[in-house]
Homo-oligomer: A and B are copies of this chain.
Amino acid sequence: MTNIHEIAAQAKKASVITAALDTKLKNQILNKIADNIELNISEILDANLKDLENSKADLNSGKISQSVYNRIKADKNKLSEMIQGIRDVAKLDDPVNKTIFTRELADGLVLKKITCPIGVIGVIFEARPDVIAQITSLAIKSGNSVILKGGRETDITNSVIFKIIFDSISEFKEFPQNAINLIHSREEAAQMLAEDKYIDLIIPRGSNKLVKYIQENTKIPVLGHASGICHIFADEFCDTEKALKIIEDAKCQYPSACNAVETVLIHKNIAEKFIPLFTERMNNAGVKINFEKEVTDWAKEYGEKELSVKITDSINDAIEHINTYGSGHTDCIITENKENAEKFMNFVDSAGVYHNASTRFADGFRYGFGAEVGISTNKTHARGPVGLEGLTIYKYKLYGSGDIVGEFCQGKRKFTHKDL
């Protein structure tokens, strides 16, 4: 087995070097990776056929579902999108070495707050072989080292894509090879979670179960979400057609997405008129409705065309229901009353609070971030869809010329605190 401790230690050392790389070089590397993947598409497709072949037994025995099996597949279209994604990351602004502020603390003593990479990012993902290229390009652009662990089902495809990436970076002698790493087994992943001295952030991309397991088995900060229990509240002042259109989109457009709606709350004052229309619309769309009495768990993420529905006495009850059972992901109010909209958006404690818009908009690309690491329901560091910015932190650079604190304590010098 690979020595994960050594990989992590070397990735940390490499991260000091990647932190200082200039933007032009990073973009050259990204474009080289995209070019080389393009040149080797057939090799990737061959590898993917092997992964699909190997997974067929698991599919037939029911060990993996049809939707997981589908996600293993990397066809030409998916790979073209993946290559375009890498080129898009090259075009994004460099998030590193940006000056947040420059402040004169005292005459001749200047403080700068500058963005920098976090350091070493561990990424654990399932199926979907395009994740490896996406995350690696985000890591390179943000100057972080990365240790990747993909799913067993796509191990052959991942290894081929990783080799192309690794060969590409190796053409640039300024880029430290130890910054990009792929590990394979579960045991190695478990060891990685223990390397809190060297790894600064873990990003899990996968099932609820995977994310929960990781959250419970590491001291390293974890960025992401275990579940997406999104709500839509049809307020007493809602426009019925808007509500039905948004609920249908939020449930049916991609039912297994984390930003799909799971629970619809309906104000009691409109329930009598609203429910028949709602029921008809959901029936036509093939959505199963579970009314209050049939719901045993308000924090259930269906992941398919199924909804929990509750009649609430007031907007306050709706807000309290969401803050109690929601996952802090994305929640929406449908109303024509602006005061109620603002109340809902201020008091619902979620990463995304929406007025008259589908919860499905919660996504880094749709928010205009260009690329996304994932969606966070954390309350610290980064919340909601996370782009390149979420892979950075900052450091303080202080420029003096022999300045000491003693002179300030003795009153010989004074702080000016003037922003420059």
Bound Cα distance from A346 to B109, whole angstroms:
18
A136 CB → nearest B CB, Å: 20
- Closest B residue to A259 by beta carbon equals B405
A219 in complex: contacting residue of B216, B350, B400, CB < 8 Å = B216
Q: Which of A306-345 contact B (CB under 8 A)?
A: 319, 323, 341, 345
Q: Which of A215-234 contact B (CB under 8 A)?
A: 215-216, 219, 221, 223
A365 CB → nearest B CB, Å: 8
Please tell me how many copies of the chain the complex holds. Answer: 2
Q: Which A positions have Cβ atoms within 8 angstroms of B?
A: 13, 15-17, 19-20, 103, 105, 109, 111, 118-119, 200-201, 215-216, 219, 221, 223, 239, 241-242, 245-246, 248-250, 253, 319, 323, 341, 345-347, 349-358, 360-362, 366-368, 378-381, 383-385, 393-406, 408-409, 415, 417
Bound Cα distance from A74 to B44, whole angstroms:
70
Residue pair A356, B400 in contact (C-beta under 8 Å): yes
A383 in complex: contacting residue of B319, B355, B393, CB < 8 Å = B393
A395 in complex: contacting residue of B341, B350, B405, CB < 8 Å = B350
A190 CB → nearest B CB, Å: 17
Nearest 9 CB-CB pairs, A to B?
Answer: A357-B400, A249-B404, A368-B417, A360-B405, A242-B402, A200-B379, A381-B381, A380-B381, A354-B398
Bound Cα distance from A4 to B417, whole angstroms:
42
Residue pair B351, A105 in contact (C-beta under 8 Å): no
A377 CB → nearest B CB, Å: 11
Known: A368-B103, A380-B118. A355 touches B404 (CB 8 A): no
Residue pair B368, A393 in contact (C-beta under 8 Å): no
Residue pair A105, B355 in contact (C-beta under 8 Å): no
